Amino acid sequence: MATTRRALLALALPGCASAQPVVAPSAGGATGAGLQARAAVKGLAFGAALSTRQMAEPDLLAAFQAECGLLVAEYEMKWSQLEPTAGNRDYRRAELLMAFARRHRMAVRGHTLVWHESEPRWLSDLSARGTAAAMARHVDETVLRWRGQVATWDVVNEAVAPEHGRGDFLRRTWLLNRMGPDYIPQAFHIARAADPAARLAYNDFGIEHATLWSRRRRLGVLGLLRALRQAGAPVQVLGVQAHLQAGQPFEAGEWRAFLAEVVALGLTVEVTELDVNCAALPAAAGPRDAAAADLVRRFLDATLAEPAVRSVVTWGLTDRHSWIRRGLLPEHRRRDTAQPRPLPFDDGMRRKPMWQAIAAALDAAPTRS
């Protein structure tokens, strides 16, 4: 007998230089075509993250409409934003983005249901039982709110942290400490019951480069995905964030082998948050943009050669709004005064070499059936 939403909820309770102006999309691969038009020709989707604070900028919205067929809410669908106080849910800002996507016939990726950095502060006042109940309600109510409207949900985000010293490589979070590792499959089962048609993703970062740190993270991600599949959790997609680090090695063969292991588990892959941290590159915009574009092209050529990769999403479109420019992490901060240039468009919404690299990789990608 099929498991009901009510039953699952009960189970969750324990006992950067040359540029071009924005133009409207035309036939994929043609000169000037937008990235979504190029992606669609190959059976792919292209999109970007957007926040409501950016919706008052006509030039950005024009570029978004010209380039994107897929929208991701940068902040507005995260738990702390939807439920800043316990039991008081606020969908208004998220609904503005949903309305924009509907108006322009864009698909939506839901980001993200469970993430240690978006757990609301009031969660720390709850018991283990209360924590499990709160997570269950949040996942259920959020997915149900947009049932049939969100193509893919990032159900759990960044649950792997080898440096935390656990044998299973899981990150020590409030939910893990309160509920144990079962919080992860529970979240997937609750999401599936709330929307049987949505694709359900596990999303993580830091797995792309040929470094010891990335290799350990890849082991942790593969271990988690295998455990979820063996437990019958309905994970269908690996979200590869692709916050690329200029100056770190990237080996296409090694990366392709990792993707093949993921696909062998029966999963598809989506690139979910592509950008480039160029803090290690020279200050001059021309050489910096060229090096960033080269890294993006090599990464996407290797990634899109895998037929199970379905989409590419950048974490924003324009440098002027990138989280990297805000210097949230120490490794994002430059020692000079040069502004970071991590995204396909510059501050004036002109296409950069990174845009050209994405376009070329999409044009060269094998066609999906």
pLDDT recorded at residue 31: 53
Q: What is the pLDDT of residue 9?
A: 44
Of 286, 283, 307, the residue nearest 366 (C-alpha): 307
Q: How many residues does the chain have?
A: 369
- Strand (E) positions, 40-123? 45-50, 70-73, 107-110, 114-115
What's the pLDDT score for residue 60?
98
Would you state the structure tokens that stand for residue 108, as one six-digit string? Answer: 């939506």
In percent, the amount of the chain with pLDDT more than 70 equals 91
Per-residue model confidence (pLDDT) at position 326: 84
Q: Indicate if the alpha-carbon torsion angle 285, 287, 290, 296 is positive or negative.
A: negative
pLDDT for 27 beyond 90: no
For 366, other C-beta atoms within 10 Å of its C-beta total: 13
272 is written with which tokens?
A: 């979910």
Residue 108: CB partners within 8 Å, gap ≥ 6? Answer: 70, 71, 72, 73, 97, 98, 101, 146, 149, 150, 151
pLDDT at 15 over 80: no
pLDDT tops 90 at residue 215? yes
DSSP lists the bridge partners of residue 107 as 70
What is the per-residue pLDDT across 227-283, written as a single tens digit (0 to 9) for each?
A: 999 999 999 999 999 999 999 999 999 999 999 999 999 999 999 999 999 999 989
122/1: higher pLDDT: 122
Assigned CATH for 5-13+25-364 = 3.20.20.80
* pLDDT per residue as tens digits for the range 148-202: 999 999 999 999 999 999 999 999 999 999 999 999 999 999 999 999 999 999 9
Task: Say if residue 217's pLDDT is above 80.
Answer: yes
- The terminus-to-terminus CA distance of the chain in angstroms comes to 34
pLDDT mean over 28-34 = 63
User: What's the pLDDT score for residue 335?
Assistant: 75
The beta-strand segments (E) located in 63-105 are 70-73
Task: Give me the pLDDT at residue 220, please.
Answer: 98
Distance of alpha carbon 136 from alpha carbon 11, whole angstroms: 9
Domain ranges of the chain: 5-13+25-364
β-pairing, 114-115 vs 309-314, is: unpaired
In this predicted model, what pLDDT tens digit does every residue of 88-143 receive, in sequence order? 999 999 999 999 999 999 999 999 999 999 999 999 999 999 999 999 999 999 99
pTM of the model: 0.92
- Higher per-residue confidence, 291 vs 10: 291
The beta strand positions in the chain, using DSSP E, are 45-50, 70-73, 107-110, 114-115, 152-157, 199-204, 237-240, 243-245, 268-277, 309-314
Nearest to 303 by CA among 356, 273, 260: 260
What pLDDT was estimated at residue 185?
98
Residue with tokens 């144990």, as numbered in its chain: 180
Helix (H, G, I), strand (E, B) or coil at 78: coil
pLDDT at position 256 is: 98
Which candidate, 108, 113, 106, places its Cα nearest to that of 143? 113
Beta bridge partners of 72: 49, 109
Average pLDDT over residues 316-327: 93
- Split at pLDDT 50, 70, 90, the class of 12 is very low
**Beta carbons of 228 and 202 less than 8 angstroms apart:** yes
Which of 333, 234, 307, 317 minimizes the C-alpha distance to 275? Answer: 317
Which pLDDT value is given to residue 16?
A: 36
Q: What percent of the chain has pLDDT over 90?
A: 87
In this prediction, residue 329 has a pLDDT band, given cuts at 50, 70 and 90, of confident
Tell me, letter by letter, the H, E, C secondary structure of 320-361.
HHCCCCCCCCHHHCCCCCCCCCCCCECCCCCECHHHHHHHHH
Per the prediction, the chain carries an average pLDDT of: 92
